Amino acid sequence: MSSYAAPLRDLRFVLEELLEHRSLRLPEYQELSAELVTAILDEAARLAGEVWAPLNRHGDEQGCRLEEDVVHTPTGFVEAYRAFAEGGWNGIGSDPAHGGQGLPEVVASAVQEMWQAANMALALCPLLTAGAVEALAQHGSEELKSRYLEKLISGEWTGTMNLTEPQAGSDLSTVRTQAMPEGAHYRLSGQKIFITWGEHDCADNIIHLVLARLPDAAEGNRGISLFLVPKFLVDEQGRPGERNDVSCVSLEHKLGIHGSPTCVLSFGEHEGAIGYLVGEPGRGLQHMFTMMNAARHKVGIQGIGVAERAYQQACTYAAERVQGRTPEARGGRPAALNEHYDVRRMLLSMRARLEALRALALLSASEMDRARHAPTVDERQCAQRRVDLYTPVVKAFSTDQAVDITSLGIQVHGGMGYIEETGAAQHLRDARIAPIYEGTNGIQALDLAGRKIHRDGGATLGGVLDEVAACADELTADVELADLGMSLHQGVGDLRRAVAIVLARGDDAERGPDALQALATPLLALTGHVLCAWQMGRAALIAQAALATGNDDAFYQAKLASADFVLRQWLPIGRAQLAAIEADPGVLD
C-alpha cells in the first residue's frame, strides 16, 4: 500500500517565496501570521497522511454499495469523514459569520491538495459541499442561509450538485426536471444522473442543489431555476425530520473513484420532493455557475493532488526495485530503478510538471483572495479578471497533465504498475474522471478562447503576458539562467501570435464559432505551458538567489532542475501547439 506525505516544503516555497504571502498582506487577513499558516498545513498533512491516505486503496477495492435506499461507503470512510469535519477542516475557507474559519483561498487550496492526494474519492464529498455553500451564501434567502449554511459549513450535513440528466450533459439547456409551486415551497419531480455523493452514510442530512424548470418556464437556459432539496426535511429548530421524496435508485459502476458514490437520484416518485427556490426564478444556471467556478478550481487542484500521490509512489518503487546494473563509469553494480537515467527522466518530468501546476493553481487562488478583499475596486476587478482567465486553464490543463503524470507513474513501475496489486493503476483510473466532470476540458477550452480571450480583445491575457515577458527579461539578464529566459520569450511570442489568431478568427463571420472551436484545445495547452513556465522561471530566479546564501541547497538545486526541465524541455511541447492553432479549420470539414 502506498503512503502519502504532503509536499510541505514545496507548498511553503510557493506560498512564502513565490507568492510572498501576498494574501496575508490584505487587510482581511492581518491577524493571520505565516507561522499560523505553517501550523495549519502541518496539521492538515497529519490528518491526510495518517487517517485519509491509508483508506485510499481499500476504498477503491471495496467501493460503495446500495442497500434498501441507503448507500454504504467503504469501511472507515464514515470515521475519516467525521474526523475531518470535527477538526473544522470543512469550513476553513468559509465565512466566519456562519461558523467558517475565513482563511484565505490560497491556504484552503494548499490544504485541498492534501485531501485530494490522500483520498480523492472521499475528498469529493467536501468538494461538492463547498460548492453548495458558495451558491447558497451568494444567492440563498436569509431564511435558507440561517437554516442550512452553518451545518453545511461545519460538515455535519453535506451538499451535492444536481445538474446532469440523461439528455442534458454539457448542454444543460435541455434540463427536464420539473418544479411545481405549492405554497411557500415547490414539488420537484425528475431524474438526475451521475450525482457525486448523492446518497451516503457519512452525514445526518444531504442538501441537494437541483436545476429544474418551473411550469411556465421559457425554453433553454433562461427557463432553468435552482432549488434546495434536503434529503430529510428540516424543522423550525433546524433538526432533520421526515424523509423527503428523493431517493437513490442505483449506483454507477465506474473506471475509478470507487469510494465515491455516483448516484442516479429520483425526485418525486410519490408526492413530489419538497424544494425551495434559491435566488431568482430563471437564473438557476447563472447561480450554479457561481459554485461551478469554485468547483472547477478545486478539480484542477484535485488533478495535482492525485498526480502528486502517483509521483510519490513511483519514487518509492523506483528506489526499492533493483534491476540491471549501473554503467561501469558509475561503479557497474546492481542498480535500483532510480539509478537508470531513463527512469530518472520520467521522475523529473513528473515532479517538475507537478511543481509548475501547483504554482499556477496557487497563484490563481491568491488572485481569488485579492478579488474578494483587495482595498480598491480597480484592484478587485483586475484580480477577478485574472481568476476568470486562469480558472479554465487550472481546471483543464492540470487534469490533462494529471492523466499523463499518473500514466507515467505506471510506466515507472513497469508490469507491476499495470496489475492492480501495487495500486499505481488506481491513480490513473481515479485521475481519468477529472478532465470530464465540472465541464469537460473541451468546454473549458471554448470558455478560454471565447469568453476569456476573444470577448475582452485579449486584454487580460495581454497584461499577464507583459509580466511573463518581464520575468523572461530578468532570466535573460542572468548569465546562468539566460537560456531559460530565451525559451520563455519564445513562449510569450507564440502565445501573443495565438491571441492575434483568436481575435481574427473570432470575428470570422463565415465560420462563426467553429473557427474558434477548432483551435480552442491547442490554445489552452499552449496557455497552460506558458503560464506554468512563467511560474517556474520566477522559481528559478528565487532558487538561484537562495543558493547564493547556502541555505537548503538540496531543495533549491532540485527547484532549478525542475525549472530547467519545464522551460527548456516541456515548454517547447506546448509551443508546438501553435501549428494546430494556425491550421485552417477547414481541415476538420
Ligand X SMILES: Cc1cc2nc3c(=O)[nH]c(=O)nc-3n(C[C@H](O)[C@H](O)[C@H](O)COP(=O)(O)OP(=O)(O)OC[C@H]3O[C@@H](n4cnc5c(N)ncnc54)[C@H](O)[C@@H]3O)c2cc1C
Which residue, 348 or 436, is less far from ligand X as judged by CB?
436
H helices of 448-582, in order, are: 459-477, 482-506, 513-549, 553-564, 571-575, 577-582
Residue from 194, 276, 565, 570 binding ligand X (CB under 6 A): 194
Closest to ligand X by CB, 77 vs 437, is 437
Query: How far is 521 from 427, CA to CA, in rounded Å?
Result: 24
Nearest one of 451, 405, 407 to 425, comparing CA atoms: 407
Identity (one letter) of the amino acid at 520? A
In sequence order, the β-bridge partners of residue 263 are 195, 251
* C-beta neighbour count of 75 within 10 angstroms: 11
**196 binds ligand X per the rule CB under 6 A:** yes
Q: Which CB sits closer to ligand X, 106 or 265?
A: 265
Residue 16 catalytic? no
The three-class DSSP label of residue 512 is coil
- Cα gap 550→65, rounded to integer Å: 55
**Residue 177 or 401 having the CB closest to ligand X:** 177
Binder of ligand X out of 3, 38, 141, 164 (CB under 6 A)? 164
If one asks whether residue 221 binds ligand X (CB under 6 A), the answer comes out as: no
Q: Tell the smallest beta-carbon distance from residue 535 to ligand X (Å).
A: 27
The grid coordinates of residue 127 equal: 468538494
Q: Which of 18, 37, 132, 163 binds ligand X (CB under 6 A)?
A: 163
CB of 66 to ligand X, least distance (A): 16
In the three-class reduction of DSSP (H, G, I as helix; E, B as strand; rest coil), residue 280 is classed as coil
In sequence order, what are the residues at sequence separation of 6 or more whose Cβ sits closer than 8 angstroms to the Cβ of residue 342?
Answer: none
C-alpha cell at 291: 459554485
Residue 237 amino acid letter: Q
Binding positions for ligand X, 250-269, rule CB under 6 A: 254, 262
By three-state DSSP, how is residue 179 classified? strand
Q: Does 161 bind ligand X (CB under 6 A)?
A: yes
In the DSSP assignment, the letter for residue 168 is B
The residue of the chain with the least Cβ separation from ligand X equals: 169
Q: What is the footprint of ligand X within residues 415-474 (CB under 6 A)?
A: 433, 436-437, 440, 442-443
The answer to whether 169 contacts ligand X (rule: CB under 6 A) is: yes
Q: From the candidates 105, 150, 199, 438, give the one annotated as an active-site residue.
A: 438
Q: Kindly list the distances between the CA atom of residue 406 and the CA atoms of 48, 314, 582, in Å, as whole numbers in the listed order.
A: 20, 9, 31
Interaction of residue 511 with ligand X, rule CB under 6 A: no
Minimum CB distance to ligand X, residue 433 (Å): 5
In terms of CB distance, is 511 or 568 closer to ligand X? Answer: 511
Q: Which is nearer to ligand X, 78 or 443 (CB)?
A: 443
Residue 170 engages ligand X in binding (rule: CB under 6 A): yes
Q: Residue count at the site for ligand X (CB under 6 A)? A: 17
> 447: which 3 cell numbers?
470558455
Report, as residue numbers or ranges, the catalytic residues. 438
Interface residue list for ligand X (CB under 6 A): 161-164, 169-170, 194-196, 254, 262, 433, 436-437, 440, 442-443
